[in-house]
Structure 1
Amino acid sequence: MPIKTTKKVTNKKVVKEETKPAVEAKKEEVKTAEVKKATKPAVEVKKEEVKPAETKKAPAKKATTKKAAKPAVEAKKEEVKSAETKKAPAKKATTKKAAKPAVEVKKEEVKPAEAKKAPAKKATTKKATAKKTTKKATTKKTTTKKVTTKKMTKEEQYAKLSLDTCLDLAKAMSMNVTRDSIIQQLILNPDVKSVSKDLVNKYQLTGKFNFEEDGYDEGLVEVLVSKVYETADIKPQKAEDLQADVDHALNYKFTDVVADGEEYKAQFDTMRKVLMIAQHKDIHDSKNLDEEIGIDVEKFVEEFMNLAYSVLKTWKYEDVDYYEHFIYAVLSQLEDLHDTYRNRIMMDVADLYILHGDYGLGDADYGYILRENQIKDYIYYRYASIYEGVDKDKAKQIANQALQFVDDRFTYYPNIIAVLEG
């Protein structure tokens, strides 16, 4: 700005020396023309400069215009006076030069006004920011309050889980369990806490998982077993409802593989209900159970074992394993029947294992029975005869071993000789 002013002053001096007489001759005309021309650019500039100020802040419009206008007028007066000393040909140059200082003065005047407005803007922004911050802070506090209010205990969270979700979490804990496998365990032992404890011990879950970190722990096992117990038909049935089912079982005649299989399922379910009544009533003698439910329990147990032995020869190995555990649970509950059918059920199960190819387990069961019994003729006969359809050489070998303990005084001696000569 100072450099421009110096150049203009130098030009003005030159003009004064060269054109002084001409200016005096036409003073009035030049003055009028110059005022008009000088005023127009100044006004246009003012409009352009004032518009941004108006857009930014309406209240500051009047103050800015007044402050900017005064210096502009003063500038005009100085310009007119200078123009009086110039020639007519220098009109255009003078007009342009006169307009520039007006613009410069306006810029200088507008800048302070803008500087004053800026702090006000920042202050407003700060207030707005402060309000937003306060709102955010309030929202956060409210959210935290809601979360705290809705927080549930571990037991409450477990209670809201579905059975399928519990089973999925059990898999995540490396438990190889299904709803059916848990039902089977509950049938043998309908106590939820006892079955849960057995599962925790079996899979070594104590202290292995942390609820806060993993979302589950060993406490989930009891929840799972409890949900299975609640949703499955494993509760004791009324005695009168069982009587018709037991009567049907005692009168059933073997027909074919399919029909016998369906009957086995039905009798298994009935026997399960009989067992559960005995467990809940804490009955350990079949005669006492007869009086409780009005059926011949021993006859039903024998019929059930006969049907199972026939059907399970063609079923899967896993079915044999489950039957073994189930029938031993029945005989362990009814102690008088255990003493009567202990050897018979062990041989039945051993035969079924041999027929399904598990010779090691079948042989081990027979070896145990032979060691525990003094009268061995029937046991040897059963043992040898089951191998006749599997391995005849082994069947003859077993019959030959029997002759060390069995002679013609024993009931099943002829049967053992028949296997040996067969």
Structure 2
Amino acid sequence: MPVKTTKKVTNKKVVKEETKPAVEVKPAEEKKASAKKAIAAKKAPAKKAEAKPVEEKKALAKKVTKPAVEVKEEVKPVEEKKATTAKKAPAKKATAAKKAPTKKAEAKPVEDKKAPAKKATAAKKTPAKKAEAKSVEEKKASAKKTTAPKKIPAKKAEAKPVEEKKAPAKKTTTKKATTKKVTTKKMTKEEQYAKLSLDTCLDLAKAMSMDVTRDSIIQQLILNPDVKSVSKDLINKYQLTGKFNFEEDGYDEGLVEVLVSKVFETADIKPQKAEDLQADVNRALNYTFTDVVADGDEYKAQFDTMRKVLMIAQHKDIHDSKKLDEEIGIDVEKFVEEFMNLAYSVLKTWKYEDVDYYEHFIYAVLSQLEDLHDTYRNRIMMDVADLYILHGDYGLGDADYGYILRENQIKDYIYYRYASIYEGVDKDKAKQIANQALQFVDDRFTYYPNIITVLEG
């Protein structure tokens, strides 16, 4: 019995002795080694991770990004080798391995910093850098190409038309220069004057200190339709003989006759002799009203004749119709009255602007001939007021009649005219005007019955 127990104990002890080192010793060493390796592995990548961003930042500043990544890939195999050696070495070697990689890691980034700079300059050595350099160069090249084609064709497009425009311009200038030389040699002074316009002649006349206008020359031509005679009068008046030289100034006294002849040719009213003017006035005095068209044509003809009469009176400084009769041999007062009758009849159907134009013209005639102004002042004012009312300008027509009524003591005829013109426009207003007239007009006045007719109508 004791023998059996010893065998069992010994077997247990043997088993315990064999299993304890395998279970207890080896795992402890492996745990320590793995812990140390983990610590070493943590420290080494931490420093490398810190170094890498710095390198990457500097590499980005230099516009070289991918080479820094490649350097990191080259460093990793070294780390792996060190890690394998650290596994084989004991704990002391592992600590030494910790210090060694830190120094190498610190030393290598300096080399790595220098390496990208060198590699960036020599971009042809590595294929990765070539790819990057090519992509960067392609981007720059594409940017330049996109801008360059815009600038180059624009410059070419601008340069060509300028050259093309300049070329014909130079040719034309040379041609003009030659033509000027030819004209000065071949064309006479009279031929050059003939090519001038009327406005240019008037401007040159002002340059010669002549105070003349187209209308003033027409007035002289009405009195004396001889162009040469009027030209001599102007030359003598402004003392132009020998004062200007055509070769130096571009004009001389010969321009005056050219100016007068151009005015004569372009005048709306052709200057006439005294006998011609008398014939026109006699025809106007014998005219009888026919129809709207014929009356309109006659009004235009008489308007032109009346303008000639006014110009003569203004040029001769005549303010009395009797003196003007002696000057031109016509009955001016009869002609003015006939003209006003025709105008009053025709302008009822014409435009408002024609009435306005006639008003200014007839007042100019009456202002020049003062004796006729006193005689026909009220009559012409009522004529114009009637025409304004018939054309719808009641305000201006009423204002004219109001002025006439205030300025005259005898009001029966004025009220009758005022009320009768509104009969065809506004009967109520016509009756209102006739009723107002009864405050100043009674049966003693000549036109009292006419006013009563309007009031009862």
TM-score (norm 1): 0.48
Name the larger-Rg structure.
2
Higher RCO (C-alpha under 8 Å, 6+ residues apart): 1
